[in-house]
Amino acid sequence: MTAKAAVLFVDDYEAMRNFVKMVLERSDYRCTTAANSAEARRCLAEQTFDVAVVDVTMPGESGLALAKSIRTDYPNTAVLMATAIDDLRVADAALKAGAYGYLVKPFEANQLLINLAGVLDRRRLEREAQQQRKELERVS
Least confident of 7-11, 54-58, 135-139: 135-139
- pLDDT tens across 81-112, in order? 998 988 888 888 888 888 999 999 999 999 99
Domain ranges (residues) in the chain: 6-139
**Strands, E assignment, 1-140:** 6-10, 30-34, 51-55, 78-83, 101-104
Q: CATH for 6-139? A: 3.40.50.2300
pLDDT at 1 (0 to 100): 43
Query: At 100, is the secondary structure helix, strand, or coil?
Result: coil
Give the separation between CA 71 and CA 77, rounded to whole angstroms. 7
Question: Who has greater pLDDT, 73 or 90?
Answer: 73
Give the separation between CA 137 and CA 10, rounded to whole angstroms. 38
Taking 60 as the threshold, does the pLDDT of residue 41 lie above it? yes
- pLDDT tens across 113-128, in order? 999 999 999 988 988 9
Is residue 124 left, alpha or beta, with left meaning phi > 0 and alpha meaning psi from -120 to 50?
Answer: alpha
Smallest CA-to-CA distance from 73 within 95, 99, 100, 45 is with 45
DSSP calls for 1-30? ---S-EEEEE-S-HHHHHHHHHHHHHTT-E
pLDDT at 86 (0 to 100): 84
CB 67 within 8 A of CB 94: yes
Taking 90 as the threshold, does the pLDDT of residue 2 lie above it? no
Least confident of 2-6, 11-15, 98-102: 2-6
